[in-house]
Amino acid sequence: MKNQLLLLSSLLLSTLLLTTTFVPNANAENGVTDTEITLGISNAQSGPAAALGTGVSTGISVYFDKVNASGGIHGHTLKIVQTDDMYEPAQAIANTQKLLDEDKVFALIGYVGTPTAKAVTPNISREKAPFIAPFTGAGFLRTPVLPTVFNLRSSYNDEMEAIVAQLVDSKSLKNVALFKQNDSYGQAGESGLTAALEKRNLSISAVGSYERNTTDVAEALATLKEAKPDAVVMVGAYKACAEFMKEAKAAGFSPIFVNISFVGTSALAKEAGEAGEGSFVSQVMPNPFTSDLAIVKQFQEDMTKAGKADMIDYTSLEGYVQAAMFTMALGNIEGDITRDKLIEAFNKLDIDLGGLKLKFTPEDHQALDQVYLTKIVGGKPETVEGF
């Protein structure tokens, strides 16, 4: 493992030091000076989804800080302008316009959420701004391919297929219900679950919903309890999902609970306490606590060195990998640094990032398609083969 980490560090360092000399741009690109490249982030830094935004942003910052300490990329340090959208679409739009129009950022990274991503997509498309690795598995960012959007994570359809394969194919369950957030995130999850069940000649047995940024789940619980499902697939943020499981436990309602990755596993386990024990979460990143992949070991080491060991989890790992992916693409640019060249570099990116194989083509803007299954045991996610 030590040799793997040394190899990964060498790979990252070679990219960091690539083309350390710089020829100033004749026509400067937004967010690019002779010495600095500025990126913008809008995600939840406050409110009920704050753990997701702060986790992703922490992972990005830790990686970029390491890049900057090593001399930057092409002689440029990487700067972040962080904004807080509280997981609300209207605020995400306002933040994005400020980042593009006033802060003049080079690219956008670290966005969290389906409703916020959906809200800002028209602005991003109009400005032709690179939109790097939004923390959502929604299909509208994948099909059709959006020229400036580059997704890191597996889709919600991928996650739902893996979940249903376990519930139906492996456990022979037929009665599968859905607890969802009542917005585009919930709709994206419902679409994926419906597709996976329909492949097996089944349908969702019941749907209970709640409103975004609330924990008012009583009506949804009553609806789903009446349906007596074998399993409830959950498409929500951690506070609402935790509240649902706590109220379900108090009501004696105990189907198999399965969350998808967006929930924020560490935050869910903390919020749910005993009610979350034995529940499952599908993941799109390897286990940040136990994986032997070199990228995960490097992540753990860098987070610890940065004094952020207490924030090691799936969300910060995903932010870290987002930043590494961006850095690799940026390092492949020759000559002037422009948005067009970054997009070209992403379309050709094909790398093994410490055990994670990332590849884009002009026809496929999703780098990963792996789904991992975990079970919450003792407040921690354990990787499992099945439910």
Long-range pairs, 143-150, Cβ under 8 A, ≥24: 145/362, 145/363, 145/364, 145/365, 146/121, 146/365, 147/343, 148/124, 148/339, 148/343, 149/121, 149/124, 149/365, 150/325, 150/346, 150/360, 150/365, 150/367
Domain with CATH 3.40.50.2300 in the chain: 2-153+287-359, 156-283
Tell me the pLDDT tens digit for each residue of 262-278: 999 999 999 999 999 99
Start-to-end C-alpha separation, the chain = 30
Fold of domain 156-283: Rossmann fold (3.40.50)
Per the DSSP assignment, residues forming a β-bridge with 1 are none
pLDDT value at 128 more than 50: yes
Reply yes or no on whether the pLDDT at 352 is more than 90: yes
> What does the block give as tokens for 378?
């003792």
User: Which residues make Cβ contacts (< 8 Å) with residue 198, sequence separation at least 6?
Assistant: none
Which CATH number is associated with domain 2-153+287-359?
3.40.50.2300
Lowest mean pLDDT among 13-27, 68-82, 153-167, 217-231: 13-27
**Region 191-213: what's the mean pLDDT?**
98
Question: Distances from the Cα of 300 to the Cαs of 69, 109, 119, in angstroms?
Answer: 18, 21, 34
Residue 18: per-residue pLDDT: 46
Residues 387, 258 contacting (CB under 8 angstroms): yes
pTM: 0.93
Residue 185: which pLDDT band, with cuts at 50, 70 and 90? very high
- Answer whether the bond into residue 144 is a cis peptide, omega within 30°: yes
Residues forming a β-bridge with 210: 181
Tell me the per-residue pLDDT of 209-264, one tens digit each, with 9 for 90 and over: 999 999 999 999 999 999 999 999 999 999 999 999 999 999 999 999 999 999 99
Asked if the model's pLDDT at residue 103 lies above 50, the reply is yes
